[in-house]
Amino acid sequence: MPLPDSITALIAALAKLPGIGPRSAERLALHIVQNEPDAVKQLAAAILLAREKIKFCDICGSLTETSPCSICSDPRREASLICLVERAVDILSIEKAGSFRGKFHVLGGKISPLDGVEPDDLRIAELEKRLAREPIREIIIALATDVEGDATSSYLAKRLARSGLKISRIAYGLPAGSGLEYADELTLSRALEGRREMN
Ligand SMILES: [Zn+2]
């Protein structure tokens, strides 16, 4: 017996989510359609509300309900220190590690000519604007340790170089070829401490 169309459509929609394979999508869909209607309404409302409220911080590019975000507007964070990450979710990984006291900047990707990602597609100009108006003295590049991460870091170290600005990159202890989300909190803290200068 084929599944009813509405379940098939729900499975297809869930399967588009990251990390959800066809089997998980089917399990979730079958759970949802047999759940209490109120619980399903709450889930749907939470998804819609979160999507409606969340935007990107105009300064750092993080996910936030208010722009500037709570980190950009926190006077206790060191304004001289910026941690450059690939994606907004990487900020969560570093914040969980708990040892970083500076601010962030989300690049929005890595330079990858094969995938059609050029420097202009990333938030580099936004970072240059921040360099002009904020008292930034050090940028810690916290990109993944893969080929694109290496190439992007070298490009940024050259393009952002100016006197009085230290540019370093975390490397120590991060698994080669992987993103920040796979590193545990202690490894991330050590990777930040063990950054090496690029200029
Ligand atoms: Zn921000």
User: 119: which residues sit within 8 A by CB, 6+ positions away?
Assistant: 111, 155, 159
Interatomic CA distance for residues 125 and 130, integer angstroms: 9
Task: Give the integer Cα–Cα distance in Å for 64 and 147.
Answer: 30
Q: Quick one: CA torsion of 29, 33, 34, 36, rounded to 10 degrees?
A: 120
Q: Quick one: pLDDT at residue 176?
A: 60
pTM, entire model: 0.78
- Report how far ligand 1's centroid is from the alpha carbon of 34 (Å): 41
Q: How far is the CA of 69 from the centre of ligand 1 (A)?
A: 4
pLDDT in tens, 28-72: 999 999 999 999 999 999 999 999 999 999 999 999 999 999 999
**How far is ligand 1, taken at its centre, from the CA of residue 118, in Å?**
23
User: How far, in Å, is the centroid of ligand 1 from the Cα of 54?
Assistant: 13
Cα(3) to ligand 1 centroid in Å equals 45
Q: Angle 93-197-127 (CA atoms, 0-180°, nearest 5)?
A: 60
Which tens digit of pLDDT belongs to each residue from 123-157?
Answer: 999 999 999 999 999 999 999 888 899 899 999 99
Q: How far is the centre of ligand 1, averaged over its atoms, from the C-alpha of 137 (Å)?
A: 18
- The dihedral through the CA atoms of 175, 90, 152, 128 has a sign that is negative
Residue 83, SS3 per DSSP? strand
Q: How confident is the model at residue 178 (pLDDT cuts 50, 70, 90)?
A: low
Q: Tell me how far the alpha carbon of residue 104 lies from the centroid of ligand 1, in angstroms.
A: 7
DSSP state letter for 85: E
Q: What is the pLDDT of residues 98-125, one digit of tens each?
A: 889 999 999 999 999 899 999 999 999 9
Distance (Å) from CA 14 to ligand 1 centroid: 30
* CA 19 – ligand 1 centroid, Å: 27
